[in-house]
């Protein structure tokens, strides 16, 4: 007789297709680095997201300011502490390219205070796009770099790392003038590695012909603050922000990128961050279970 393998009966989110592997149970060592970013279950409260992680046996969560504010910072700090979950990241700071510099800096200092209170090792930084009717891309990049420099001492005092996130170039005009990992590392290198690192998000960097070399450089310089995963699915939706897919549903070779960050020395969490209306409409437990299955099938 051949050994029986578990028959998966679960259904993947959002495809609705039967799962092709069994869902890892809580305690499965393959889950030990898997983190849920709250954006993946955006309609859920922080309490619901934490509960979902605990039920599924996930050890870590990436938090968002909006959800923390909804619960209140003190209650959020207490909830996270009691849950035993690691905080993989805090999302997010940035938006430093506008002309009201003082206001933007104040807001980022508050975000750093919150991150410190929550025990988040890093504040994800999305630098901001071009002001309306503005064509001065070098100017916006320069303003953002200056503002990062201003925030560095404050971040260092609080023990929170600024995790500069290059966003896919399709967001250059409206969300982030930081477009490649190489550019992020060029900006970071003026500051101590323990205070300024980079976020490597598969969605944003997968297309880059230099991605392997720049991840190696980031590892060499000790700059990999966070590794986030999701997939590139076609077609792009009408709101390009919501086009991200569950790992395994699209064109990104996530496993290969994990191998590259691992070779570069990254041993931290693998955080799943997916902006997708169909995933947001699904049950939280089904979303997390699909994430866990895809993690063992397509990432590890």
Where on the chain is the footprint of its own copies (CB under 8 A)? 130, 134-137, 141, 168-170, 172-174, 179-180, 182-183, 186, 206-210, 232, 234-240, 250-253
User: Which one, 66 or 136, has the nearer CB to its own copies?
Assistant: 136
Instruction: In angstroms, give the least distance from the CB of 280 to its own copies.
Output: 19
C-beta of 67: minimal distance to its own copies in Å?
26
- Residue whose CB is less far from its own copies, 74 or 132: 132
Reported as type and span, the H/E element at residue 272 is strand 270-272
Distance CA 42, CA 279 (A): 9
**Cα dihedral 39, 171, 203, 67 in deg (nearest 10):** -10
CB nearer its own copies, residue 232 or residue 275: 232
* Closer CB to its own copies, 221 or 286, in the complex: 221
Question: Minimum distance between the CB of residue 2 and its own copies, rounded to whole angstroms?
Answer: 29
Burial letters 198-223, b for 16+ CB under 10 A, else e: bbbbbbbbbebeebeebbebbbeeeb
Cβ atoms of 228 and 271 closer than 8 Å: yes
- 16 or 138: CB nearest its own copies: 138
CB of 147 to its own copies, least distance (A): 18
Smallest distance from the beta carbon of 40 to its own copies, in angstroms?
Answer: 21
Q: Which is nearer to its own copies, 112 or 258 (CB)?
A: 258
> How near is the Cβ of 256 to its own copies at its closest, in Å?
8
Residue 61 φ then ψ, to 5°: -140, 140
Question: What kind and span of H or E run contains 225?
Answer: strand 224-229
Q: Which residues are paired to 272 by β-bridges?
A: 36, 229
Distances (CA, A) of 174 to 56, 80, 108, 183, 241: 36, 33, 19, 18, 11
Nearest to 47 by CA among 91, 78, 5: 78
């Amino acid at each position: 007789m051949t050994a029986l393998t578990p028959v998966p009966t679960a259904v993947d989110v959002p495809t609705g297709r039967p799962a092709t592997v069994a869902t890892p149970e809580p305690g499965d060592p393959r889950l030990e680095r898997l983190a849920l970013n709250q954006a993946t279950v955006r309609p859920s409260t922080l309490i619901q997201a934490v509960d979902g992680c605990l039920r599924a046996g996930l050890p870590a969560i990436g938090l968002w300011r909006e959800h923390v504010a909804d619960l209140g910072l003190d209650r959020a700090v207490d909830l996270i502490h009691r849950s035993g979950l690691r905080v993989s990241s805090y999302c997010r700071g940035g938006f430093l390219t506008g002309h009201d510099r003082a206001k933007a800096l104040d807001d980022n200092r508050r975000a750093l205070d919150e991150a410190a209170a929550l025990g988040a090792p890093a504040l994800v930084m999305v630098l901001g796009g071009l002001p309306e009717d503005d064509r001065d891309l070098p100017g916006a990049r320069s303003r953002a770099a200056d503002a990062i420099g201003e925030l560095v001492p404050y971040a260092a005092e609080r023990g929170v790392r600024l995790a500069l996130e290059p966003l896919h170039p399709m967001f250059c005009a409206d969300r982030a003038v930081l477009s490649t990992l190489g550019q992020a590392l060029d900006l970071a290198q003026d500051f101590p590695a323990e205070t300024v690192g980079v976020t490597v998000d598969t969605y944003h960097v997968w297309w880059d012909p230099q991605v392997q070399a720049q991840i190696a450089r980031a590892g060499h310089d000790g700059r990999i603050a966070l590794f986030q995963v999701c997939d590139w699915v076609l077609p792009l939706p009408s709101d390009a922000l919501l086009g991200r897919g569950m790992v395994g549903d699209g064109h990104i070779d996530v496993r290969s990128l994990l191998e590259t960050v691992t070779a570069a020395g990254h041993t931290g969490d693998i955080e799943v961050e997916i902006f997708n209306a169909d995933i947001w409409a699904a049950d939280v437990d089904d979303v997390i279970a699909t994430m866990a299955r895809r993690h063992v099938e397509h990432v590890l």
